[in-house]
């Protein structure tokens, strides 16, 4: 199957080809025709499935023939839970719509609102927004939805997790009832189905991957180590294995800052991204990481949401997540779209419970590979801790891989926000926003 067979026009096919893609992913093959038919869609899409292109391409196809947006009008609205995801979706719209006479803009919190008001004043065909900032703009009468044709909820499950349900309901009240609605979520949970009731009309349901599965292209392994020696082990692996681009996850902002300082003391270029960093600092850190200026990006789960980094080879769990499902989301940043990658977890005795929960969730035991000179004094206490893996002097390396279709944003389970009021400082450079 090719993108041409899905009913896309020449300008979109040209943009897809310019990105080096020729074969649609399963989510794209199923969602694109349904969207082009004007059907409402509920799609369960996991990390690395190509879901952003799965709705961006048919959306642009549908909008290209209609009347251009008038001042303060929006023809299509894409709601995302985080700033980074909004920015990534905005990039996708701009990339695939480059040969079409359509306009788009992205709005989220954490930056000045006046330039966003100015952009909306002219009218846009596609508006990508986070809920809180959109409500602010609507409250200032900077945007109206009388001409809205399509509503897309991206990562609907995360929006619920982050407590945006009330904001979403407020937004829905000001949208026209006659519209096409697309919902993309990691799963069709009971909460999502309750949200969908009355929101979508006889939707086409698309589910291309079982929940909580990890890509076969990701080489996963556990490196047992005593907790105090984790920073030294990470530096050792980066130096000895020649890792040039590593995304490292910590549980806390303080932990991210501390680890960044330790890596820099070892001569490794590193930067931290989390909610306490300014918008400009987060954007600079992400840009430096993508360009290769920064070798290691240390992130909390919430700050890393939506990061889309081509061919990311290494993900390291410096600390295991408290929620087992977050492990799947974390390591989904590598091994995407057919490319290979490596996910390494530095696990100490105190994290045995978390490791056991992850292994139950993914239904497999992760191989243990102690590194010579860093063997732990006490074994990690998990159901299969009685195995005696051989000590390795170097970790396993992934094989080569190439991307063959559009990728999209990942999802991380953020902390639930406090009740009452919107979060105004959440996530990274465009990570978690309103």
pLDDT digits (tens, 9 = 90+) for 300-332: 876 665 566 767 889 999 999 888 878 887 887
From the list 322, 277, 328, the residue with the least C-alpha distance to 298 is 277
Identify the three-state secondary structure at position 153: strand
Mean pLDDT, the chain, rounded, equals 82
Residue 251's nearest CA partner among 326, 336, 145 is 326
Place of tokens 């000895």: 240
Element (H, E) at 159: helix 156-161
The CA distance from 418 to 117, in Å, is: 28
Handedness of CA 422, 331, 306, 187 (dihedral sign): negative
pLDDT digit string, tens, across residues 276-308: 777 678 788 888 998 889 999 998 876 665 566
91/79 Cα distance (integer angstroms)? 14
- Domain coordinates of the chain in residue numbers? 4-207, 218-362
Q: Among 195, 207, 159, 206, which residue's Cα sits nearest to residue 39?
A: 206
CATH number, span 4-207: 3.40.50.300
Give the global pTM: 0.62
**β-pairing, 314-317 with 204-207?**
unpaired
Region 218-362: CATH code: 3.40.50.300
The Cα 124–Cα 117 span in angstroms is: 11
Please say whether the beta carbons of 331 and 345 come within 8 A.
no
Query: How many Å apart are CA 400 and CA 299, to the nearest integer?
Result: 26
Task: For residue range 54-75, list pLDDT tens digits in order.
Answer: 999 999 999 998 888 899 999 9
């Amino acid at each position: 199957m090719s993108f041409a067979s899905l009913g896309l026009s020449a300008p979109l096919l040209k943009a897809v080809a310019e990105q080096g893609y020729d074969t649609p992913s399963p989510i794209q093959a199923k969602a694109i025709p349904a969207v082009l038919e004007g059907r409402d869609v509920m799609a369960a899409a996991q990390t690395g499935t190509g879901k952003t292109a799965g709705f961006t391409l048919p959306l642009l196809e549908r909008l290209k023939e209609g009347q251009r947006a008038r001042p303060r009008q929006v023809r299509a609205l894409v709601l995302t839970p985080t700033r980074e995801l909004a920015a990534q979706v905005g990039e996708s719209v701009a990339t695939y719509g480059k040969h079409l006479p359509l306009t788009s803009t992205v709005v989220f919190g954490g930056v000045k609102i006046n330039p966003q008001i100015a952009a909306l004043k002219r009218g846009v065909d596609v508006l990508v927004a986070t809920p809180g900032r959109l409500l602010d703009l609507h409250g200032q009468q900077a945007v109206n939805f009388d001409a809205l044709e399509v509503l897309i909820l991206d990562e609907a499950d995360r929006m619920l997790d982050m407590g945006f349900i009330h904001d979403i309901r407020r937004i829905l009240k000001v949208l026209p009832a006659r519209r096409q609605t697309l919902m993309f979520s990691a799963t069709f949970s009971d909460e999502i189905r309750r949200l969908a009731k009355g929101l979508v009309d006889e939707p086409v349901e698309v589910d291309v991957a079982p929940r909580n599965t990890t890509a076969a292209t990701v080489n996963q392994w556990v490196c047992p180590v005593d907790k105090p020696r984790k920073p030294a082990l990470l530096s050792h692996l980066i130096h000895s294995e020649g890792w040039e681009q590593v995304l490292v996850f910590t549980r806390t902002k303080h932990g991210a800052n501390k680890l960044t300082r330790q890596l820099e003391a070892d001569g490794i270029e590193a930067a931290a991204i989390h909610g306490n960093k300014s918008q400009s600092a987060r954007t600079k850190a992400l840009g430096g990481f993508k360009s290769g200026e920064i070798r290691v990006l240390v992130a909390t789960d919430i700050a890393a949401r939506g990061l889309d980094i081509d061919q990311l080879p290494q993900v390291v769990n410096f600390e295991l997540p408290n929620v087992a499902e977050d492990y799947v989301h974390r390591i989904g940043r590598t091994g995407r779209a057919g490319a290979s990658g490596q996910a390494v977890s530095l696990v100490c005795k105190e994290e045995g419970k978390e490791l056991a929960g992850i292994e139950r969730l993914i239904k497999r035991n992760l191989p243990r590979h102690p590194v010579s000179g860093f063997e732990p004094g006490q074994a990690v206490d998990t159901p299969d801790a009685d195995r005696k893996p051989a000590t390795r002097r170097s970790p396993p390396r992934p094989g080569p891989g190439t991307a063959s279709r559009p990728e999209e944003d990942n999802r991380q389970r953020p902390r639930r926000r406090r009740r009452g009021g919107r979060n105004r400082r959440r996530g990274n450079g465009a990570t978690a926003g309103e």
